[in-house]
Structure 1
Amino acid sequence: MIFSKERPFLLVGAGKMGGAMLSGWMAEGIDPAAIVVSDPRLSEEMDALLKRYGIRHVTSVPGDLRPAIVLVAVKPQMMDAVLPGLKPVVAPDTLVMSVAAGTPVAKFHDYFGEVPVCRCMPNTPAMVKRGITAVFPTRQVTAEQRQEVGSLLSSVGKVVWLDSEDQIDLVTGVSGSGPAYVFYMAEALSEAGRAAGLPEELAHELAVATVCGAGELMHQSGEHPATLRQNVTSPNGTTAAALDVLMHAEGLQPVMTEAVAAAVKRARELAE
Structure 2
Amino acid sequence: MSFSRERPFLLVGAGKMGGAMLSGWMAEGIDPAAVTVCDPNVSEEMDALLKRHGIRHVTSVPDDLTAGIVLIAVKPQMMDQVLPGLKPAVAPDTLVMSVAAGTPVSRFVREFGEVPVCRCMPNTPAMVKRGITAVYPTPSVSEDQKADVARLLSAVGKVVWLDSEDQIDLVTGVSGSGPAYVFYLAEALGEAGRQAGLPADLAHELAVATVCGAGELMHQTGEHPAVLRQNVTSPNGTTAAALEVLMHAEGLQPVMTEAVAAAVKRARELAK
TM-score grouping bracket, smaller chain normalisation: over 0.9
Contact 2:21 2:155 in 1 (8 A): no
Give distance in 2, aligned partners of 1:171 and 1:86: 27
Structure 1 position 236, deviation (Å) = 1.1
Q: Which residue of 1 aligns with 2:262?
A: 262
Is the aligned partner of 1:60 residue 2:60? yes
Structure 1 position 253, deviation (Å) = 0.8
Q: Which residue of 1 aligns with 2:193?
A: 193
Is the aligned partner of 1:19 residue 2:19? yes
How many residues align? The count is 272
Structure 1 position 9, deviation (Å) = 0.6
Structure 1 position 184, deviation (Å) = 1.2
Partner SS state of residue 119, structure 1: strand
Q: Which residue of 1 aligns with 2:224?
A: 224
Q: CA RMSD in A?
A: 1.1
Structure 1 position 43, deviation (Å) = 2.1
Contact 2:153 2:159 in 1 (8 A): yes
Structure 2: which amino acid aligns with 1:186?
A
Matches within 5 A, 1:71-82: 71-82=71-82
Structure 2: which amino acid aligns with 1:158?
K
Q: Which residue of 1 aligns with 2:247?
A: 247
Q: Which residue of 2 aligns with 1:51?
A: 51
- The normalised TM-score by structure 1 is 0.97
Is the aligned partner of 1:205 residue 2:213? no
Partner SS state of residue 134, structure 1: strand
Q: Which residue of 1 aligns with 2:156?
A: 156
Q: Which residue of 1 aligns with 2:141?
A: 141
- The answer to which of 24-33 and 242-251 deviates more is 24-33
Structure 1: which amino acid aligns with 2:151?
S
Is the aligned partner of 1:87 residue 2:87? yes
Percent of pairs identical after alignment? 85
Q: Which residue of 2 aligns with 1:236?
A: 236
Give distance in 2, aligned partners of 1:13 and 1:194: 40
Contact 2:5 2:34 in 1 (8 A): yes
Contact 2:172 2:267 in 1 (8 A): yes
Give distance in 2, aligned partners of 1:33 and 1:261: 43
- The normalised TM-score by structure 2 is 0.97
Structure 1 position 189, deviation (Å) = 1.2
Give distance in 1, aligned partners of 2:152 and 2:56: 19
Structure 1 position 7, deviation (Å) = 1.1
Structure 1 position 28, deviation (Å) = 2.0
Stretches of 4+ moved more than 4 A in 1? none
Partner SS state of residue 64, structure 1: coil
Task: Show CA shifts across 1:78-103 (max 9, x none).
Answer: 11111000111100010000001111
Partner SS state of residue 11, structure 1: strand
Structure 2: which amino acid aligns with 1:55?
I
Partner SS state of residue 65, structure 1: coil
- The answer to which of 175-184 and 36-45 deviates more is 36-45
Contact 2:20 2:156 in 1 (8 A): no
Give distance in 2, aligned partners of 1:26 and 1:220: 26
Structure 1 position 238, deviation (Å) = 0.8
Structure 1 position 212, deviation (Å) = 0.8
- The answer to which of 30-39 and 170-179 deviates more is 30-39
